[in-house]
Structure 1
Amino acid sequence: MTENILRSVTVERTGTGHFTATNPRGGTISFGTSSDPHGGTDFTPVELLLAAIGGCTAADVDVATARHVEPTGFTVSVTGDKISDEFGNRMTDLMVTFSVTFPDGELGDRARAILPRAVKTSHDRFCTVSRTVEIGTPVTTTVTDA
């Protein structure tokens, strides 16, 4: 059996500095540039990167812990510094911080006990997004229909 390994999105311009990404299942997310003169609330591409890092590892951790008990609180904060240096514009000092609480009792204790291991395993092995960022995968760009 051949596993479908290709992942894709299509990004279309919807206006000056505004774009919509569409996945193969028809889901969409709008985003834009931070220079919107009207103070728009769309995510920027950098914020989408941070959300992808946090979302990927949050999903891994949720699967591991919620099988024991539903959390009473689950927040993941992702921060980083956007810099410009001899390598161009890039993010540094990326930090993912989990704040997860579980109810009192045996099941909550079990979920609390595995939380650090679930976070570490996601970071070290499972989260495709942060693994790709940390390893440093080359990006190829091309132009068609020019």
Structure 2
Amino acid sequence: MASQEQHRSVSLRRTGEGELVATNARGGELTFGTGEEGGFTPVELLLAAIGGCTALDVDALTSRLAEPERFELVVGAEKVRDAGGNRLQDITLTFHVTFPEGESGDAARERLPDAAARSHDRLCTVSRTVELGTPVSWSLAGDA
């Protein structure tokens, strides 16, 4: 059984047609929905979570050596609809990172591939969960 320190959760509340607000335990809120008017969809949030988790890992491991001049990450995937249902496949993360010239920039550039590999192979909870195929269950509360 997971301890309270290890348990993670968010609550979702409907705020309108095709619109939800996610709230975390610290009171942060994020609005998303069907993608109308430029908003994020759940699939885009999943891609952002995968990329964000990895980007934060890589940034922490490299920026202590040199502040990046550019740090961008593009996350892409193909949406598939088949007999197994809707899903994403071929999720890719492409880093666009530039460090300054000089010794510290060289050290950060040298660490970059290892940092990305460490995030992918061990550190990023989000992509590790997706790749390992963690089951998702659901239930209805008594008031549903």
TM tier, shorter chain? Answer: over 0.9
Q: Do structure 1's residue 49 and structure 2's residue 30 form an aligned pair?
A: no
Equivalent residue for 2:17? 16
Q: CA shift at 1:3, angstroms?
A: 7.1
Report the residue type matching 2:7 in the other structure.
L
Q: CA RMSD in A?
A: 1.0
Whole-angstrom distance in 2 between the partners of 1:100 and 1:142? 43
Q: Which runs of 5+ in 2 are unaligned?
A: none
Q: 2:66 aligns with which of 42, 66, 69?
A: 69
Helix, strand or coil at the partner of 2:5: coil
Whole-angstrom distance in 2 between the partners of 1:60 and 1:3? 24
Q: TM-score when scaled to structure 2?
A: 0.95
Q: 1:99 aligns with which of 79, 96, 100?
A: 96
Q: Do structure 1's residue 141 and structure 2's residue 138 form an aligned pair?
A: yes
Task: Give every structure 1 segment of 4 or more consecutive aligned residues whose post-TM-superposition deviation is greater than 6 Å.
Answer: none
User: Between the two proteins, what is the percent identity of the paired residues?
Assistant: 57
Q: TM-score when scaled to structure 1?
A: 0.94
Equivalent residue for 1:119? 116
Equivalent residue for 2:84? 87
Helix, strand or coil at the partner of 1:51: helix
Report the residue type matching 2:39 in the other structure.
D
The alignment of Structure 1 onto Structure 2 pairs a total of residues equal to 141
Whole-angstrom distance in 2 between the partners of 1:119 and 1:108? 16
Residue deviations 1:33-88, cap 9 Å, x none? 14x4xxx1110000000000000000000000011110000000000011111110
Helix, strand or coil at the partner of 1:63: helix
